[in-house]
A and B are shown apart, each in its own frame.
Chain A
Amino acid sequence: MTEEKKEEEKTLKKKKPKIPRQPMPEQDPHERAKNFKEVTYGFPAELAQNESIRCIQCKNPVCIDGCPVNINIPQFIKKVSEGDILGAAKVIKESSLLPAICGRVCPQEDQCEMVCVVGKKDKPVSIGRLERYVADYEAAHGTFEMPEMAPKTGKKVAIIGSGPAGLACAGDLIKMGHGVTIFEALHKAGGVLVYGIPEFRLPKAIVERELDYLQKIGVEFKLNHVIGRIRTVDELMQKDEYDALFLANGAGLPQFMNIPGENLNGVYSSNEYLTRSNLMKAYNFPEYDTPIKKYKNLAVIGGGNTAMDSVRTALRLGAENAYIIYRRSRDEMPARKEEIDHAEHEGVQFIMLTAPLRVIGNEKGWVTGLECIKMELGEPDDSGRRRPVPVKGSEFVVNLDAIVVAIGTNANPLVAQTTPGLELNKWGYIVVDDEKTCKTSKKGVFAGGDIVTGGATVILAMGAGRSAAKSINEYLKII
């Protein structure tokens, strides 16, 4: 055992928390499965206080390294324990622009909380929930304060896409003194935060709050601007004289299964299903004009967070049977455990080790079922997960009115197709020289987030946005 480890063990023994991990209050599962209000209520002050003193203030805080944007976690938690919540907010905001969002949607169990030292003997400190508590407290009690702004440089940067990567990059660049314009294709800013993640997991008012803040500190938003069509990357640089560009347009192209019957009525991509519900607020039809069908029996194909969001949306729209169909077993599902548990408590039914073969429809062109085949797990594949193999003769039919396909997304080619000289990899994602510089093959053009990595998480995209801001700032100094 190294000296450091011994030291850690000692601290752990000495400061072994006597308080258990505090439970997060949440809406009753049966109740919440019928509404779109946020599932979890957040910590009240007392629980936050209790949770904060579970942090043992490690000398070597590995949680900071576990965080993609390196929030000084022990320091903000210490402020919470001292009752200085606005002080805690300041600490977080040094590293993260969107704490109210990340506190809700970050997979903390794979990041900061996974390495939390308290978690070695007990359950880890609820870092994410405390982050959310601090951010919500600040929103309710804090007053708007202009952050420290560097003197204006006269340089201007165009950001393509207003999702987490674009927003984080904008927030940093504006503080560095540059002019920042975000071009957004849709009529609302926020990217996946507004079209993808449902209200019950991330209330849109919170996203609005963060967007307001960016506008107040001077970021310009140009909505309804589809770059690649209304303007190309080259035109933005030459005609509109932007000194640098950050491409953060995400991985928005839905994948389908390429099985027979997939274009029958009642088959949706998760992007369509969620965009109708979230961005267009179709769950409030006819008060909102965009319709969404209320299906009795609906299955979502896939095991990721988007699949969970889709199936839980279906329940809230009144589905009697809402299924997840996934070709591996529950342990291999890429969704956060918390989301899977929430879905299960709300009544979602899991059909595991099952792969779709063919969508069955009626003479009117509507879905009536899905023919599937049972799978078993074989040898591990490239991803390290055991490869699902079909079980011969195990075909069966699930009766359904609708199917939502949530098996992942690809790069949207619109920007790439119209940007000569921009290097892409074989999947169509933009190639950057390294994750820190975010430099593309085109001078003055940077890229980050899902359009570089493929579909990932909000916090990773945000981290990329911040790295890009640093790199763009350096670039602007030398041109």
Chain B
Amino acid sequence: MNKILEKKVWWTDAPAIKEFVVEAPWIAEKHKAGQFVILRASENGERIPLTISDKNIEKGTINILFQEVGKTTMTLGKLNKGDSIFDLAGPLGKPTHIENFGTVVCIGGGIGVAPVHPIAQALKAAGNNVISILGARTKEILIYEDLMRKCSNEVRVTTDDGSYGRHGFVTDELKSMIESGMKIDLVVTIGPPIMMKMVCKVTEPYKIHTFASLNTIMVDGTGMCGACRVTVGGKTKFVCVDGPEFDGHQVNFDEMMSRLRQYVDEEKISRELCQQGTCRTA
């Protein structure tokens, strides 16, 4: 179970970006857009959530994409084709609500493009006019462009350094679209919390309904611990079972970002130990 059938390295420099195609027939069969898995990379490992970015029901596989930012993802990155993922549980979280909204703008920033992919696919299949905005720091680390083109009516790219597409942020492109008078019925955004917060700030005055898929710290991922809790519309919600998607205009992003920073010291210790070569893969 959970054997890695393919490994793709998107970006080799630290922090590297890698993708696995993993054998997980039961998960592939049940997965719906917006859902995630929880995995552990080793016996002593931490449980981390990763969104399923693609699947193949016939082959019984799911894709997961990650950036090596901490010990778990660095350990994961050392695995190769033929190895297995130590523990893998899913699909978790509520699926994205899919219907024909009209025109939907799907915004993915950084590796956030990967989790946007199945949502854009499902929205397209439901008959929406899907316009995707993909944001990256620079051209070389833009991921999933081809895949996103397949499931979008139109793709727009922004890079922070101007090396590809529009020079600027995804929010600049979104603003231009809105200001040009385009009728947008829904915005879906996944990426760094600050980007999602800014996207929501852009759409709020225009009352454009905006979903944000949140990526909080989780332990069990099944509603048992509440580590992932966020305030949405003044109420506490668990991202793992009530989410991961919420009405972005109701999310308290500042609190969420503060909660994400809770373990920065410990994360640093682990990362350094890992860089000294103590990462184990089994």
Measured CB to CB, the residues of A under 8 A from B are 185-187, 195, 223-226, 229-231, 252-254, 256, 258, 262-263, 265, 268-269, 271-272, 275-276, 280-281, 285-291, 293, 364-365, 412-414
Chain B contacts with A in 249-274, Cβ cutoff 8 A: 255, 258-259, 261-263, 266-267, 269-270, 273
Are the C-beta atoms of A272 and B259 separated by less than 8 Å? no
Contacts of A229 in B (CB 8 A): 30, 35, 90-92
Q: How far is B88's CA from A224's CA once the two chains are assembled, in angstroms?
A: 6
Are the C-beta atoms of A287 and B263 separated by less than 8 Å? no
Are the C-beta atoms of B236 and A256 separated by less than 8 Å? yes
Question: Are A252 and B259 also in contact (CB < 8 A) when A187-B87, A224-B88, A229-B91 are?
Answer: no
Contacts of A275 in B (CB 8 A): 219-220, 224-225
Contacts of A413 in B (CB 8 A): 223, 241
Q: How far is B110's CA from A198's CA once the two chains are assembled, in angstroms?
A: 40
Kindly provide the distance from the CB of B223 to the nearest chain A CB, expressed in whole angstroms.
Answer: 5
Are the C-beta atoms of B226 and A256 separated by less than 8 Å? yes
Question: Are A271 and B225 also in contact (CB < 8 A) when A186-B220, A265-B259 are?
Answer: yes
Are the C-beta atoms of B236 and A290 separated by less than 8 Å? no
Question: Are A187 and B40 also in contact (CB < 8 A) when A224-B89, A265-B258 are?
Answer: yes
- Asked if B176 lies at the interface with its beta carbon under 8 angstroms from chain A, I say no
Are the C-beta atoms of A364 and B223 separated by less than 8 Å? no
- Asked if B72 lies at the interface with its beta carbon under 8 angstroms from chain A, I say yes
Contacts of A276 in B (CB 8 A): 219
Q: How far is B231's CA from A285's CA once the two chains are assembled, in angstroms?
A: 29
Taken residue by residue from 81 to 96, chain B's Cβ proximity to chain A (1 for < 8 Å, 0 otherwise) reads as 0000001111110000
Kindly provide the distance from the CB of B234 to the nearest chain A CB, expressed in whole angstroms.
Answer: 11
Contacts of A230 in B (CB 8 A): 26-27, 30, 89-91
Question: Are A289 and B227 also in contact (CB < 8 A) when A226-B89, A226-B90, A229-B91 are?
Answer: no
Q: How far is B92's CA from A378's CA once the two chains are assembled, in angstroms?
A: 46
Closest B residue to A230 by CB, please name it. B26
Of B45, B72, B219, B270, the most chain A CB neighbours within 10 A belong to B219
Are the C-beta atoms of B219 and A224 separated by less than 8 Å? no
Question: Are A185 and B220 also in contact (CB < 8 A) when A230-B27, A254-B226, A256-B226 are?
Answer: yes
Indicate which residue in B27, B44, B71, B255 contacts A263 across the interface (CB closer than 8 Å): B255
Q: How far is B92's CA from A186's CA once the two chains are assembled, in angstroms?
A: 12
Closest A residue to B30 by CB, please name it. A230
A-B contact count (CB 8 A): 113
Question: Are A286 and B236 also in contact (CB < 8 A) when A185-B220, A187-B40, A272-B225 are?
Answer: no
- Can you report 20 residue pairs joining A to B where beta carbons are below 8 Å apart? A195-B220, A195-B224, A223-B87, A230-B26, A254-B226, A256-B226, A262-B236, A263-B229, A263-B255, A268-B226, A271-B226, A272-B226, A275-B224, A280-B47, A289-B42, A289-B270, A290-B219, A291-B267, A293-B263, A413-B223
Contacts of B46 in A (CB 8 A): 280, 289-290
Chain B contacts with A in 15-55, Cβ cutoff 8 A: 26-27, 30, 35, 40, 42, 44-47
Are the C-beta atoms of B222 and A226 separated by less than 8 Å? yes
Kindly provide the distance from the CB of A414 to the nearest chain B CB, expressed in whole angstroms.
Answer: 6
Indicate which residue in A226, A272, A285, A288 contacts B227 across the interface (CB closer than 8 Å): A272
Kindly provide the distance from the CB of A337 to the nearest chain B CB, expressed in whole angstroms.
Answer: 28
Are the C-beta atoms of B47 and A263 separated by less than 8 Å? no
Kindly provide the distance from the CB of A301 to the nearest chain B CB, expressed in whole angstroms.
Answer: 14
Are the C-beta atoms of B30 and A231 separated by less than 8 Å? yes
- Asked if B230 lies at the interface with its beta carbon under 8 angstroms from chain A, I say yes
Indicate which residue in A226, A231, A269, A287 contacts B44 across the interface (CB closer than 8 Å): A287
Contacts of B273 in A (CB 8 A): 286
Query: Lowest 7 CB-CB distances: which A-B pairs, in order?
Result: A291-B266, A365-B258, A272-B225, A224-B89, A289-B46, A187-B87, A252-B224
Are the C-beta atoms of B223 and A252 separated by less than 8 Å? yes
Are the C-beta atoms of A289 and B90 separated by less than 8 Å? no
Kindly provide the distance from the CB of A31 to the nearest chain B CB, expressed in whole angstroms.
Answer: 27
Q: How far is B168's CA from A372's CA once the two chains are assembled, in angstroms?
A: 49
Q: How far is B43's CA from A290's CA once the two chains are assembled, in angstroms?
A: 11
Indicate which residue in A262, A280, A281, A285 contacts B219 across the interface (CB closer than 8 Å): A280
Q: How far is B221's CA from A252's CA once the two chains are assembled, in angstroms?
A: 12
Are the C-beta atoms of B262 and A265 separated by less than 8 Å? yes
Are the C-beta atoms of A263 and B231 separated by less than 8 Å? yes
Are the C-beta atoms of A263 and B219 separated by less than 8 Å? no
Contacts of A271 in B (CB 8 A): 224-226
Are the C-beta atoms of B45 and A289 separated by less than 8 Å? yes
Question: Are A414 and B236 also in contact (CB < 8 A) when A265-B262, A285-B266, A287-B44 are?
Answer: no
Of B26, B91, B230, the most chain A CB neighbours within 10 A belong to B26
Contacts of B262 in A (CB 8 A): 265, 293
Q: How far is B243's CA from A165's CA once the two chains are assembled, in angstroms?
A: 30
Contacts of B230 in A (CB 8 A): 263
Q: How far is B224's CA from A371's CA once the two chains are assembled, in angstroms?
A: 27
Are the C-beta atoms of A272 and B89 separated by less than 8 Å? no
Kindly provide the distance from the CB of A97 to the nearest chain B CB, expressed in whole angstroms.
Answer: 24
Q: How far is B262's CA from A459's CA once the two chains are assembled, in angstroms?
A: 37
Are the C-beta atoms of B87 and A414 separated by less than 8 Å? no
Question: Are A187 and B222 also in contact (CB < 8 A) when A291-B266, A365-B259 are?
Answer: no
Are the C-beta atoms of B224 and A226 separated by less than 8 Å? no
Are the C-beta atoms of B259 and A263 separated by less than 8 Å? yes
Contacts of B231 in A (CB 8 A): 263
Kindly provide the distance from the CB of B236 to the nearest chain A CB, expressed in whole angstroms.
Answer: 6
Q: How far is B88's CA from A187's CA once the two chains are assembled, in angstroms?
A: 8
Kindly provide the distance from the CB of B97 to the nearest chain A CB, expressed in whole angstroms.
Answer: 15
Contacts of B229 in A (CB 8 A): 263
Kindly provide the distance from the CB of A302 to the nearest chain B CB, expressed in whole angstroms.
Answer: 15
Q: How far is B220's CA from A252's CA once the two chains are assembled, in angstroms?
A: 11
Kindly provide the distance from the CB of A208 to the nearest chain B CB, expressed in whole angstroms.
Answer: 14
Q: How far is B160's CA from A417's CA once the two chains are assembled, in angstroms?
A: 44
Indicate which residue in A185, A231, A290 contacts B222 across the interface (CB closer than 8 Å): A185
Closest A residue to B26 by CB, please name it. A230
Question: Are A412 and B92 also in contact (CB < 8 A) when A263-B255, A288-B44, A291-B263 are?
Answer: no
Q: How far is B223's CA from A365's CA once the two chains are assembled, in angstroms?
A: 23
Contacts of B269 in A (CB 8 A): 286
Contacts of B267 in A (CB 8 A): 291
Closest B residue to A290 by CB, please name it. B46
Contacts of A291 in B (CB 8 A): 263, 266-267, 270
Chain B contacts with A in 194-240, Cβ cutoff 8 A: 219-220, 222-227, 229-231, 236
Q: How far is B220's CA from A260's CA once the two chains are assembled, in angstroms?
A: 25
Closest B residue to A184 by CB, please name it. B89
Contacts of B40 in A (CB 8 A): 187
Contacts of B225 in A (CB 8 A): 254, 269, 271-272, 275
Q: How far is B46's CA from A414's CA once the two chains are assembled, in angstroms?
A: 23
Are the C-beta atoms of A289 and B72 separated by less than 8 Å? yes
Q: How far is B47's CA from A195's CA once the two chains are assembled, in angstroms?
A: 14
Q: How far is B87's CA from A262's CA once the two chains are assembled, in angstroms?
A: 32
Are the C-beta atoms of B87 and A254 separated by less than 8 Å? no
Question: Are A414 and B26 also in contact (CB < 8 A) when A226-B92, A364-B258, A365-B258 are?
Answer: no
